[in-house]
Amino acid sequence: MIRFEMAYGKAYAALSLGRSSKLVRERAQERPIFMRYLIAASGDQNFPEGGGMVIRDSGGEVIGAVGVTGDTEDRDEELAVHGIHAAGLKTDADCIGMGRVGLPPKTS
C-alpha cells in the first residue's frame, strides 16, 4: 500500500510550491518539462494530484500542509479543507482578502 506516500507527496507538493496540489497538477500540465525537473529535484516526493492543501494560521502565515488520498481529486481536496477548518486553521481561499503573498488569483 502506498496511500501514505501519496498523501505525503500531495502535501509535499502543496508546501513546496505554496499552492494546492491540484494547482500544482495544473501547472504540470502547462509546463511539463519544468515540473518534471521539480519532481526530480524533490527526490520524486512531489505528487502533483489534487488533495494537498497549504495550512495557514489565523494571520494567514503558512504553517504546513496536509495531504488526503483515497477518493476523487475533488473529494480529497474537500476533505483536506474540512480537516484544516476542523483544526481551527485556514486555507488559501480563506486568506485571499488578507493580501498574503503566493496566493492563487481569485477566480469568478
Beta strands in the chain (DSSP E): 52-56, 62-67
Tens digits of residue pLDDT in 85-99: 999 999 999 998 876
Domain count of the fold of the chain: 1
Closest CA to 56 of 18, 93, 89: 89
Does residue 90 form part of some domain?
yes
Share of the chain above pLDDT 70, in %: 91
Tens digits of residue pLDDT in 20-43: 999 999 988 999 999 999 899 999
Q: Which domain range does residue 89 map to?
A: 3-96
Instruction: Please report, for the domain that includes residue 92, its CATH number.
Output: 3.30.450.150
CA distances from residue 62 to 36, 76, 94 in whole angstroms, order as listed: 25, 20, 12
